[in-house]
Structure 1
Amino acid sequence: MNFPPRRIAIFGNTYQEEKCKYVERVVNALQVQGAEVVFEQQFLDFILSIRPKNCSKPFDFEGFRAEECNADLAISLGGDGTLLNTAEKVGRRRIPILGVNMGRLGFLADVLPADIEQAMTRVMEGRFSIKERSLIESVVEGPELGIYPFALNEVALLKHDNSSLIEIETTVDGELLTNYLADGLIVCTPTGSTGYSLSVGGPILEPQSATFCLSPVAPHSLTMRPVVLRDDVTIDLRVKSRSGSFLIAIDGRSKSLPVDTQLHLRKADYTLPIVKMHPQDFFFMLREKMMWGKDQRN
């Protein structure tokens, strides 16, 4: 049981109009319960631009800039990608985030559109749990990183599309692990283990496990396999590339860096609170979303 939130900030997907059709349902369900609803300004502008001109009900809400977010709870309307963007905007403010899944698979945004009214009622009654999720901090030696340095899912070092394999010298707490020769390397949190890392053969990690996972992308050697580490280590990375540069992608935000850049990855000094409507739902979600044990022959 949590103290019921009163001021709720709405974030959302600003490039797919069809995913915004549930906004009014969310807002109405919250207002019926007496919540003060405010909108991230960019999302508010998007909503106003796509609302039909013949709508009789005004959409008059306060907008705020992301860097000035002040709320008891943040609601992310979209998929897991939208929730990752919300996490960046909320930062270290310790504002719990609830995801309404209007995307596809969705491991983070787990409230379905059909359950919006019920979920909003439970939120306003404080009937939810909060799970703390760890993040990875990226520290660079060389040029400025230029993008948000904290990753809820993963940090990926990747070759450019038109380049050959890259070599990634990887050390853990100063001890050489290996030199990966591959298309790239993914370093993920337990939260990110069901994302990009999973797609290249990485393991699924329980969200509260204190771990990192290193998963190579299309390695040159078939003996290269994912490695799971404690999350209290520092991972140092140095890239060699014939093209003279490589890509770093932090939760999908990418930047090209020169090969003389040194990267240090470590656990961030803060965690992100994620709202869960069902505290023991991770294994249930795995069974449902991965369709484990289901007969798919029909």
Structure 2
Amino acid sequence: MQVALYSRGFITEDIANIRLLLEELRRAEIEAVIYEPFYRTLQEHVFFEHQPVLFSSSEQLSENIDFLMSLGGDGTLLDTVCYVRDSNIPVIGINFGRLGFLASIGKEEIHALVQALQNRTYVVDRRALLHLDANIPLFGEVPYALNEFTIHKKDSSAMVKIHTYLNGEFLNTYWADGLIVATPTGSTGYSLSCGGPIVFPEAGNFIITPVAPHNLNVRPIIVPDDNIISFEVEGRSEQFLCTLDSRMETIDSTVQIAVKKEVFSINLLRLDDSNFLHTLRNKLLWGIDARNAIKL
């Protein structure tokens, strides 16, 4: 079995857990294929008996890779979309960050995770992606996102007007700082922080959420994901920001853009005793009354 390891980097407190993970994989006779920039920083802190196989691009992930482990927070896991692409390699998120909706496996569960890989006692969830089409090249070979697409004003410029259409029919003009189109997976990300609803991952929907709308009667809306959502953007500034997850491009009002459901999906691995409801209760502290913890 081969497992690819990806991380943006680490802090000193993470080193012990990284060593533990590598040792657990070695004991289980699972070969670790390591992201090259991550390996270069690890060399000062971790002893490798043999030179591991390295990768730095999606093309270097061979068909023998069984899983890709993301070591970090949700942002780190979102990066892995650019590496697994349409290969169907399941992604495992080990949470070295903070909240961790996507990277839901805790550092204290490393031993249990490796055992689950050995015994194949895990669950793989399929998560929908959204795809961006434009009349100019944007985002290279990875014009899709797991969490969300956004249009946003640039810097401290005035609000923008975003004319929005569903399958060519006018929906609304949003006067706002920006607009988010989130997948169900992304409903607990940027969209949630802007007042959007929580949507179950298996729901076949997109969530359209305005960012700081000027009209207070404008609210987030959920639409079926078989819609094509297109936009025309205008404002006092000549340039706007367009993002897919954590990747960003600058566009102007001449750029025509539309989003739709991607034809393939991404696989996220979780332990069989964890699910979306468990994650909600754990991460959002549902069911916990803080008032009962206050001592006067």
What is the TM-score of this pair, normalised by structure 2? 0.93
**Using the alignment, how far apart are the partners of 2:149 and 2:13 within structure 1?**
30
Preserved contact between residue 13 and residue 19 of structure 1 (Cα < 8 Å): no
From 98, 109, 122, the counterpart of 2:92: 98
Q: Give 2:200's aligned amino acid.
A: E
Q: Percent identity, aligned pairs only?
A: 34
Paired residue secondary structure (1:224): coil
- After superposition, the CA RMSD in angstroms is 1.6
1:145 aligns with 2:142: no
**Cα deviations across residues 127-170 of structure 1 (Å, max 9, x unaligned)?**
101100000111111x3214531110000110012210000010
**Using the alignment, how far apart are the partners of 1:180 and 1:282 within structure 2?**
32
**Using the alignment, how far apart are the partners of 1:146 and 1:128 within structure 2?**
33
**Using the alignment, how far apart are the partners of 1:63 and 1:41 within structure 2?**
5
Q: Residues 28 and 15 from structure 1, CA distance in 2 versus in 1: closer, same or farther, beyond 3 angstroms?
A: closer
What's the counterpart of residue 24 of structure 1? 19
**Using the alignment, how far apart are the partners of 2:272 and 2:99 within structure 1?**
18
From 227, 230, 239, the counterpart of 2:221: 227
**Using the alignment, how far apart are the partners of 1:236 and 1:279 within structure 2?**
40
Preserved contact between residue 211 and residue 230 of structure 1 (Cα < 8 Å): yes
What's the counterpart of residue 8 of structure 2? 13
**Using the alignment, how far apart are the partners of 1:205 and 1:259 within structure 2?**
31
What's the counterpart of residue 66 of structure 1? 57
1:169 aligns with 2:160: no
Q: Give 2:6's aligned amino acid.
A: F
Paired residue secondary structure (2:254): coil
Q: Which runs of 5+ in 1 are unaligned?
A: 1-5
Paired residue secondary structure (1:60): coil
Preserved contact between residue 153 and residue 189 of structure 1 (Cα < 8 Å): yes
**Using the alignment, how far apart are the partners of 1:236 and 1:127 within structure 2?**
42
Preserved contact between residue 30 and residue 124 of structure 1 (Cα < 8 Å): no
**Cα deviations across residues 6-26 of structure 1 (Å, max 9, x unaligned)?**
111111122645444422211
1:258 to partner: Cα distance: 1.0
What's the counterpart of residue 3 of structure 1? none
1:159 aligns with 2:153: yes
Preserved contact between residue 30 and residue 121 of structure 1 (Cα < 8 Å): no
1:89 aligns with 2:80: no
Q: Residues 77 and 290 from structure 1, CA distance in 2 versus in 1: closer, same or farther, beyond 3 angstroms?
A: same
From 209, 217, 220, the counterpart of 1:215: 209
Aligned residue pairs: how many? 288
1:276 aligns with 2:267: no
Q: Residues 280 and 119 from structure 1, CA distance in 2 versus in 1: closer, same or farther, beyond 3 angstroms?
A: closer
**Using the alignment, how far apart are the partners of 1:88 and 1:264 within structure 2?**
20
**Using the alignment, how far apart are the partners of 2:127 and 2:183 within structure 1?**
9
Preserved contact between residue 156 and residue 248 of structure 1 (Cα < 8 Å): yes
**Cα deviations across residues 207-252 of structure 1 (Å, max 9, x unaligned)?**
0001100000000001000010111110001110211110011101
From 39, 53, 74, the counterpart of 2:34: 39
**Using the alignment, how far apart are the partners of 2:12 and 2:40 within structure 1?**
12
Preserved contact between residue 135 and residue 267 of structure 1 (Cα < 8 Å): yes
Q: Give 1:145's aligned amino acid.
A: L
Paired residue secondary structure (1:99): strand
**Cα deviations across residues 99-123 of structure 1 (Å, max 9, x unaligned)?**
1001000011111111111111111
**Using the alignment, how far apart are the partners of 2:157 and 2:73 within structure 1?**
31
Q: Which runs of 5+ in 2 are unaligned?
A: none
From 252, 261, 272, the counterpart of 2:246: 252
**Cα deviations across residues 228-287 of structure 1 (Å, max 9, x unaligned)?**
011111000111021111001110111111111111100001000110113661111111
